Amino acid sequence: MQFCTQCGTKNDDDARYCNLCGQELSSGEGHKKTAVNRKLLWAVAGIAALLAIAVTVWHLKGNQSPLSKSDTQKQEPADTKEEQPGGGEEDTDSQQKASEVVGDIFGSDEEVGSTAQKPVPLKKGLKDVDKAKDYNYTHENCNTLYTDVFQQGAYSIEQELLEVTKMSAQEENETGREIAQNIADQFQGALDVDKAWVDYVRKLGKQIVARVDRKGIDYHFHVISDDTVNAFAVPGGGVYFFTGILNTITNEAQLAGIIAHEVKHVDLRHCIALFQVLSRLPEAAQNPITFSVAQTMKHPYSSRQEADADRKGLELIYSFSYSPYQVVQYWQQEMAKEEAGSKEQENNNPFGRILGEVGKEIDNVLLTHPTNQKRACLLKNHCLKLQEKYPMDTGYVGKWNYKNKKPMFEKQS
């Protein structure tokens, strides 16, 4: 059986797409021959879908183009800029310039969001803490590919589409209950059987969701006894952890970070996106273009959703004074595992061998999650931004709490 990495649904071994959410599953032996063609098709479809989404949003908003923001930008007259002696150092980073242009038009998803708050004070004399002075992060450029710019614009357009087609919390909760029942049926005998884990995750999750932006969602937390290293969220606030991922975590700050990440997927409407668009555009079933737009919302820039959920989740746990550095360390730990198999992956990647940098760009579009290296990089940058806005000298780690399954809110060590 294959587990879908998006929603956790079990699928037949030879299945190509998840029966529940439509996410493409890992290709088996029978699909390797067509992998290259599928990648090219996804790349072309992704670019076409970006344009289609922009047009859809434009019409839904009463023909007010999402690009019109650029017309209202205050432009500095060219003759007011003081020239540097000797012309200054020429900026040759065209990718960075392109990213700045897209940022001017759509805004940036990498800035500190509304979820961020001043951290609550910790008890004095705690030993299980990280000191900010011990983590000498410096800002890095984590987005080095042109497709990063594409994803930046596409994600912003998607958020516009979700805003104009949004459904009520009650509607989402109803959809979520149906999906939750489906998951309960599929994982019967493995769902919520470990009462100690379930109680711990639920107590922690209850505290974290108190600070989400969207109210009225019926959040509920579950643990599936299975070695799969994954966690996922579904519409209506269902958050599910496999025990496989719980066994890779070493402290409560890391667990809180992953809970917050999944919660933000719900809060940012990532989980309800496909259902939302199709429900508001019922003709999508008969209109292949609109249907493609809705389907493609899960691909090829879902990695941008993941990165945004990472950052906004970090803001959530930061407000409780959990150490953000432990979340970075978790992805660095996973990055080490990833690098161990990177050479084999590179050898098996026809784009990497034949097309070089072009292959990297295509693979970047096709990834449903950022690489662990990129996740760690983006999170480091966000740590710096949070520290600048809301300085925090010490962050709680919670090794004892995790080992004993007792939340920091009940006991700090």
| DSSP string for 196-251 | HHHHHHHHHHHHHGGG-SS-S---EEEEE-S----EEEETTTEEEEEHHHHTT--S
CA atoms within 13 A on the CB side of 288: 2
Burial 264-290 (b: 16+ CB within 10 A, else e): bbbbbbbbbbbbbbbebbeebeeeeeb
Region for residue 295 given its phi and psi (left: phi exceeds 0; alpha: psi -120 to 50; beta: otherwise):
alpha
Give pLDDT, residue 353.
Answer: 44
Residue 181 CB neighbours (<10 A): 10
In three-state secondary structure terms, 358 is: helix
Give pLDDT, residue 145.
Answer: 72
Q: Whole-model pTM?
A: 0.73
Tens-place pLDDT, residues 157-179: 777 777 877 889 999 999 999 99
Q: For the chain, what are the domain ranges?
A: 55-62+96-404
Give pLDDT, residue 405.
Answer: 97
pLDDT bracket for residue 239 (50, 70, 90): very high
Residue type, 190: A
Residues 6+ apart with CB under 8 A from 237: 173, 176, 209, 217, 218, 219, 220, 263, 266
Any idea which of 77-81, 166-170, 202-206, 307-311 has the lowest mean pLDDT? 77-81
Give pLDDT, residue 156.
Answer: 77
pLDDT bracket for residue 252 (50, 70, 90): very high
Question: Phi, psi at residue 320, to the nearest 5°?
Answer: -95, 5
pLDDT bracket for residue 289 (50, 70, 90): low
Max CA-CA distance within the chain? 73
pLDDT bracket for residue 282 (50, 70, 90): low
